């Protein structure tokens, strides 16, 4: 039986260069792939903050030396539209930008063109990639996931190099790789950054609405979680949901004690070595359920 050719029209790749006749430890490879995926999504958000991104596995080469994933995007705060239309493809130039950012060093030399290899881009495309890479290369989330990925790479001596890009064939391999002697942070692969003093955490949670502020909808709404003591007070920032609520197009008779699924963003500040939620630091960025429209 002949294997069906892989669809690479949405793909980006993480490539591990291994010693001859050797394979990489599965836990190491899987952990690297997870951090690579998280870095790719963070890079996409840094370049296009108006979009959410997701990666889905297409294939992993035997020996775990190459991971292929489809990367897709969807507008933030458009949950209903996402259900209707699904996720959309990411343009080629943006895929190249993301694939480069999650692997190449943050230092200026060599430039990103060195890592692309023999790819042919127009002057306009070169400028587009250059601007996108500059937006994402120093993003703190991207950097943190990259650091974790390269720390994992140091755990397996069979990994000689790490690379990435946009594959154009099933036997694709990046022209240039980050060699194993540059995996360690001490070798200057990454710029030294100060310890973060503030961070943002975004998560999707199921809640029960205690009290909405319908007269001044952008003010604080109060929620609780089933079985968890206490309340969550958060500013409602999903404008599309508020418009739908005003137009009475939310599929729910709005009242208290409504089950909801929300994307909650929490801003925390480091105080005396501990993370504490900032004043007005909780924001609802998206109401996933009930559905508007």
pTM over 0.75: no
Summarize the confidence of residues 31-44 as an average pLDDT.
94
The residue extents of the domains of the chain are: 11-187, 198-289
The predicted structure's pLDDT at residue 108? 46
The predicted structure's pLDDT at residue 249? 72
The residue with greater pLDDT, 51 or 78, is 51
**CATH assignment of 198-289, among 2.40.50, 3.40.630, 3.10.20, 2.60.40:** 2.40.50
Give 245-288 pLDDT, tens digit per residue: 778 776 566 666 888 899 899 898 888 777 788 988 999 999 88
For residue 88, count other CB atoms closer than 10 A to its CB: 13
Q: Counting beta carbons within 10 angstroms of the beta carbon of residue 181, is it exposed (0 to 12), middle (13 to 18) or buried (19 or more)?
A: exposed
Please report, rounded to a whole number, the percentage of residues in the chain having pLDDT higher than 70. 80
For residue 139, count other CB atoms closer than 10 A to its CB: 19
* Chain CA centroid to CA 45, Å: 7
Across 7-158, the runs of DSSP E, i.e. the strands, are 11-18, 51-60, 66-75, 88-89
Q: Is the dihedral of CA 143, 183, 128, 56 positive or negative?
A: negative
Give 209-230 pLDDT, tens digit per residue: 887 766 665 678 999 988 788 8
Say if residue 75's pLDDT is above 50. yes
* Chain CA centroid to CA 155, Å: 24
CB 192 within 8 A of CB 207: no
Give 3-14 pLDDT, tens digit per residue: 556 677 889 999
Q: What is the mean pLDDT of the chain?
A: 81
3-state SS string over 123-149?
HHHHHHHHHHHHHHCCCHHHHHHHHHH
The predicted structure's pLDDT at residue 5? 61
């Amino acid at each position: 039986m002949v294997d069906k050719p892989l669809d690479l029209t949405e793909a980006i790749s993480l490539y591990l260069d291994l010693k001859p006749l050797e394979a990489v430890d599965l836990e190491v490879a899987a952990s690297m792939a997870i951090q690579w995926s998280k870095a790719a999504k963070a890079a996409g958000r840094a370049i296009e903050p108006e979009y959410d991104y997701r990666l889905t596995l297409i294939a992993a080469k035997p020996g775990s030396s190459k991971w292929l994933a489809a990367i897709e995007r969807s507008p933030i705060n458009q949950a209903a539209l996402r259900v209707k239309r699904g996720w959309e493809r990411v343009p080629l130039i943006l895929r190249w930008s993301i694939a480069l950012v999650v692997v190449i060093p943050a230092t200026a030399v060599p430039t990103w063109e060195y890592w692309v290899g023999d790819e042919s881009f127009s002057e306009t495309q070169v400028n587009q990639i250059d601007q996108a890479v500059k937006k994402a290369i120093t993003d703190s989330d991207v950097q943190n996931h990259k650091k974790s990925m390269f720390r994992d790479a140091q755990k397996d001596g069979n990994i000689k190099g790490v690379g990435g890009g946009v594959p154009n064939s099933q036997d694709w391999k990046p022209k240039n790789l980050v060699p194993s002697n540059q995996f360690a942070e001490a070798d200057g692969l990454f710029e030294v950054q100060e310890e973060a003093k503030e961070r943002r955490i975004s998560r999707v949670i199921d809640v029960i609405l205690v009290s909405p502020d319908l007269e001044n909808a952008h003010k604080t709404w109060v929620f609780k979680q089933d079985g968890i003591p206490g309340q969550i007070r958060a500013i409602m920032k999903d404008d599309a949901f508020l418009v739908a609520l005003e137009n009475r197009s939310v599929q729910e008779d709005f009242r208290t004690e409504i089950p909801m699924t929300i994307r909650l963003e929490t801003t925390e500040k480091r105080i005396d070595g501990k993370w504490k939620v900032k004043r007005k630091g909780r924001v609802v960025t998206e109401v996933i359920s009930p559905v508007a429209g």
